[in-house]
Amino acid sequence: MKTGLLTLLVVLVGMGTAFAGSCVTNTYDTYVGPPSISCDISVNPPGDVKTFSNFTYSTSGSDHMPDTSITVSPLSSPYNAGLLFNAPWSVGSLHTQDSLIGFTVMVASGSALINDLTLLMLGGATTGTGMASVAETYCLGDTFADGCAKGTTGSLLTFMNSGGSKLSDTVTFKGVKEVDVEKDILLAGGDNGTAVLSGVENLFSEIPEPGSLATLGSGLLCLAGLLGRRLFA
């Protein structure tokens, strides 16, 4: 009996790293694993939770960026959860650096649906023939594990080079419970240039629950009533 209980305890401890807890600031290798973790970000109103999971990473190019050098920070504001990825991405002439980051965002039970996705580039600069870009593909309502067979796919793009820049991109859509993203962070120096980038951010905005909207509406009506009484008093 004791042996059975001990075995069960060992199994539960081993599985514990895969259970969802609060997302914390840490290096990306702790998110990717093995095992890949699952973590939550809570935003206002209280009880509105988004679960982030299925973290993946690969790197290529002449200058590799290890996942141990990428720091992940959870972001939360009213009806808005997301992740910030910071790393010293940098290349010189004739060099390239390519980082592929993927993860899934799911709506926790009773939480508001996701209705838009924003991609931002932070702390970047280029010279000469250098360029930096972040191309993100997304799957709404499914994951790329099955080719997004039951969902809708699309893409976002941010970039900077000698010709100009686009540092943010946003897409709005009908509310879904699940979004899968894969972002390609690419830096290239070209024949005679440099490129640096320090941050990439993803934000997932949410539709307020009907109850929250009703509460807000009631509050506005009460305020209007009080103002009316004062005007006609």
Decide which of 30 and 9 is more confident: 30
Q: What is the DSSP letter of 24?
A: -
pLDDT, mean of residues 4-30: 62
Q: Tokens 């209280």 belong to which residue?
A: 46
Q: Indicate the length of the chain as a whole number.
A: 233
Q: Tokens 């990473």 belong to which residue?
A: 57
**Which of 5-14, 27-36, 121-130, 211-220 is the least confident region?**
5-14
Residue 223: per-residue pLDDT: 39
**Residues 31-90: tens digit of each pLDDT:** 999 998 999 999 987 778 999 999 999 999 999 999 999 999 999 988 899 999 999 999
Residue 209: per-residue pLDDT: 52
Residue 18: per-residue pLDDT: 46
Q: Tokens 């023939």 belong to which residue?
A: 129
Residue 110: per-residue pLDDT: 80
Q: Which residues pair with 197 in a beta bridge?
A: 89
**In the chain, pLDDT over 70 holds for what percent of residues?**
80
Separation of alpha carbons 81 and 106, rounded Å: 11
Q: For residue 114, is pLDDT > 90?
A: yes
Residue 47: per-residue pLDDT: 78
Decide which of 157 and 1 is more confident: 157
Residue 218: per-residue pLDDT: 45
Residue 12: per-residue pLDDT: 36
108: which residues sit within 8 A by CB, 6+ positions away?
40, 48, 49, 50, 51
Q: For residue 2, is pLDDT > 60?
A: no
Average pLDDT, the chain: 86
Separation of alpha carbons 204 and 52, rounded Å: 11
Closest Cα to residue 84, out of 71, 99, 98?
71
**Residues 163-212: tens digit of each pLDDT:** 999 999 999 999 999 999 999 999 999 999 999 999 999 999 988 655 44
